[in-house]
Structure 1
Amino acid sequence: MSDDLLGRHRSVLPDWLALYYEHPIEITHGEGRHVWDADGNRYLDFFGGILTTMTAHALPEVTKAVTEQAGRIVHSSTLYLNRPMVDLAERIAQLSGIPDARVFFTTSGTEANDTALLLATTYRRSNTILAMRNSYHGRSFSAVGVTGNRGWSPTSLSPLQTLYVHGGVRSRGPFAGLDDYDFVAACVDDLKDLLGHTRPPAALIAEPIQGVGGFTSPPDGLYAAFREVLHERGILWISDEVQTGWGRTGEHFWGWQAHARGGPPDMLTFAKGIGNGMSIGGVVARAEIMNCLDANSISTFGGTQITMAAGLANLNYLLEHDLQGNARRVGGLLTERLRAAAAHVPAVREVRGRGLMIGIELTKPGTDEADPAAASAVLEAAREGGLLIGKGGGHDTSALRIAPPLSLNIAEAEEGAAILEDALRSIQ
């Protein structure tokens, strides 16, 4: 059955639509932190549909909300008043930390970042954007134009002039040998120097932890230090929270809060986990920024009733069950367990991350040279052992990405760590 589906996939879908595994699998159903494939194999899911199944597979509260809403009305567009959309917007505006916040819903993180770029360039009357090296912000024309990761940049054409800034990767690059204080100072000096050579940019867009880039991050406080420089010049700060939002990092509800000196960003974008699999994205911005457009605009599918019902139920569950706290506790244990396992594997350069957002970078032993073949081999071995993980990284895709649903329990964390330890040892 899978071979037949794979043949049909290849005959009708683009060649560049990536599939994991030498023998791709079809996931047919899930429950809790587990999924099953078409051949009946059961897997512990440590990737959650690319950080999207945030609470649990087939969460009854979300399933019930979707079913009940589908029985009333699924969709009407933003041309009509929409109670679930207003309800969720009120919750997100309050949680965002942005004063006088307005929320615009989209269907994906890509579209959310597109909207933030539109708002920033219109508000500032500039098409120059600052972005981080090793970054990823989506697959659309403008989002690719601010993506600093060559593996996800199929074209250099762009409607934007993008300038790439140091700092998103702590352990690589020209400042890697500095301590955290000097690292931040060097990145700030570099930013100031860059701004002295260009017309004033519209905004800096940055992921607090770089997702596709392999779960890399700067020292805490870097973006707060950047914000001081930007604020002096009227340049906006957009925090891309598509992967870091909703408590996944454990220590904070939003990734920007690790860089909170000076206050929240001017805008934040979100998607993925809030819908627990339903297509929700969005932008939160101060009213003066959100309202700067002087032409009509709508969103046909952004904020549709069925996705908003799912988002509300999912957010309620997340907050009522303190899944942020669970991510901090269980994620901390999982990270230490993986670091202990990795200490015996020469190919592991670094285990990093926060909460239930953990990266394992692989290199050729004794070097800093990326080893994408090793990453693929571990991915395969983990699947054989009953564990699904992801991969990423800016250096030829040599990082493993671990991001289970935030309801992961300690027994499941131990089980997954043991499978992953065996998978890592298998490449030696």
Structure 2
Amino acid sequence: MNDDLLGRHRAVLPDWLALYYDEPLEITHGEGRHVWDAQGNRYLDFFGGILTTMTAHALPEVTKAVTEQAERIVHSSTLYLNRPMVDLAERIAQLSGIPDARVFFTTSGTEANDTALLLATAYRRSNTILAMRNSYHGRSFSAVGVTGNRGWSPTSLSPLQTLYVHGGVRTRGPFADLDDYDYVAACVDDLKDLLGHSRPPAALIAEPIQGVGGFTSPPDGLYAAFREVLHERGVLWISDEVQTGWGRTGEHFWGWQAHARSGPPDMMTFAKGIGNGMSIGGVVARAEVMNCLDANSISTFGGTQITMAAGLANLTYLLEHDLQGNARRVGGLLIERLRAAAAHVPAVREVRGRGLMIGIELTKPGTDEADPAAASAVLEAARAGGLLIGKGGGHDTSALRVAPPLSLNVAEAEEGAAILEDALRSIQ
């Protein structure tokens, strides 16, 4: 670790800017599914810059597109026609499944969710928002106001009235002991009761799989059942696909498709993986909703040419190489391997997830009490073994998050699983 860099970091950056590891890591470069630190140590990357390096580090197709675009023009703002932005918007609109879709680009998932909340409240003339318990939607004032995870919500002040709904965490809460059918029915009944006691909401915003919350999810079909109740009342459904989009779950291209009985959401937000490290976020919405604003607006950096070029190249590579299928195949092998390893570790409460989006929840053995110290210890042990993973969870950050680039191969999955097995065993 470069002690001087750490000291400089602490001297000029906020205390609340989290750093992983007792001795924080400086990553200097990457290739494929690996990264290197400033001391030359090589790591298998199972976190991808928080699910952002979606395809691979230093993917030649993306670096070439960025270089060629930078040699022409980097940026002009949305006040001018922008061919790469239109090209990528057309691709995303077609892939979204939302009819008559319009796309607005931002620079992050936070900004995308902020925009979706602006659109929903303007369209519905209501500042009441439904959100899920244990959720995370970003760092802006409005996004924090709809975040149902206390570890990531630093203030109770908000421009919105937020009402939190049951259902995002299948194995905890008052309905955890029910079977899937009865669980969905109980959550729907709870939603109906909540609606009967509140002013008409603008929208429900929900992650199909809760990312920061520890990769938790409801049974398939829950949000379709919610949608039927909401649609009767004109309430919009915003699917936050910042972490679940682009085929990461393997089974579907978008997380909402696991809940597709009632059709696509009214709005969908995206970010992270589409840029493969470049700053891209955005909102897809029905034209009626997207066009509801009655004031001028622009985006200075949303949709800038160099990020759009990266997004186009990255999306093309993902589709041409069927990385969704790879996530399904290799992710399925990885989750079974991790479940087999976890069966011998009493501290593991649950191994959950889909595709290459896997959570390992740790508790004090024999209880449901979260064990964040154990999670931190496994994170450190995995790093010592040459593997980078993440943390999360709504119960004191006691879940490990495993989300490699979608091009992960079987040999790398086996290598990473072996390191993680050793790390889990080390805490016993």
TM-score w.r.t. structure 2 length? 1.00
Residues 143-177 of structure 1 show CA distances to partners (whole Å, capped at 9, x for unaligned) of 00000000000000000000000000000000000
Residues 75-120 of structure 1 show CA distances to partners (whole Å, capped at 9, x for unaligned) of 0000000000000000000000000000000000000000000000
How far did 1:180 drift?
0.1
Q: Distance in 2 between matches of 1:2 and 1:84?
A: 39
How far did 1:2 drift?
1.1
SS state at 2:66 partner: helix
Partner of 1:251: 251
How far did 1:60 drift?
0.1
How far did 1:59 drift?
0.1
Q: Distance in 2 between matches of 1:197 and 1:154?
A: 27
How far did 1:302 drift?
0.1
Q: Distance in 2 between matches of 1:328 and 1:200?
A: 39
Q: Distance in 2 between matches of 1:198 and 1:364?
A: 39
Residues 6-55 of structure 1 show CA distances to partners (whole Å, capped at 9, x for unaligned) of 00000000000000000001000000000000000000000000000000
Q: Distance in 1 between matches of 2:395 and 2:406?
A: 28
How far did 1:371 drift?
0.1
Residues 198-244 of structure 1 show CA distances to partners (whole Å, capped at 9, x for unaligned) of 11000000000000000000000000000000000000000000000
Q: Distance in 1 between matches of 2:44 and 2:101?
A: 38
Q: Greater shift after overlay, 1-10 or 171-180? A: 1-10
SS state at 1:243 partner: coil
SS state at 2:394 partner: coil
Q: Distance in 2 between matches of 1:411 and 1:24?
A: 28
SS state at 2:261 partner: coil
Q: Distance in 2 between matches of 1:426 and 1:94?
A: 48
Q: Distance in 2 between matches of 1:245 and 1:365?
A: 34
Q: Distance in 2 between matches of 1:383 and 1:140?
A: 31
2:268 is the counterpart of 1:268:
yes
Gaps of 5+ in 2: none
2:390 is the counterpart of 1:413:
no
SS state at 1:44 partner: strand
SS state at 1:261 partner: helix
Residues 302-327 of structure 1 show CA distances to partners (whole Å, capped at 9, x for unaligned) of 00000000000000000000000000
The equivalences for 1:8-87 within 5 A come to: 8-87=8-87
How far did 1:406 drift?
0.0
Q: Distance in 2 between matches of 1:299 and 1:413?
A: 40
TM-score w.r.t. structure 1 length? 1.00
Partner of 1:277: 277
Identity of aligned residues (%): 95
Residues 334-353 of structure 1 show CA distances to partners (whole Å, capped at 9, x for unaligned) of 00000000000000000000
Q: Distance in 1 between matches of 2:85 and 2:198?
A: 40
How far did 1:426 drift?
0.2
Q: Distance in 2 between matches of 1:259 and 1:303?
A: 29
Partner of 1:103: 103
Instruction: Please report the RMSD computed on the Cα atoms of aligned residues, expressed in angstroms.
Output: 0.3
How far did 1:262 drift?
1.1
Q: Distance in 2 between matches of 1:80 and 1:341?
A: 55
SS state at 1:58 partner: coil
SS state at 2:148 partner: coil
SS state at 1:55 partner: coil
SS state at 1:260 partner: helix
Q: Distance in 1 between matches of 2:288 and 2:172?
A: 38
Q: Distance in 2 between matches of 1:261 and 1:205?
A: 18
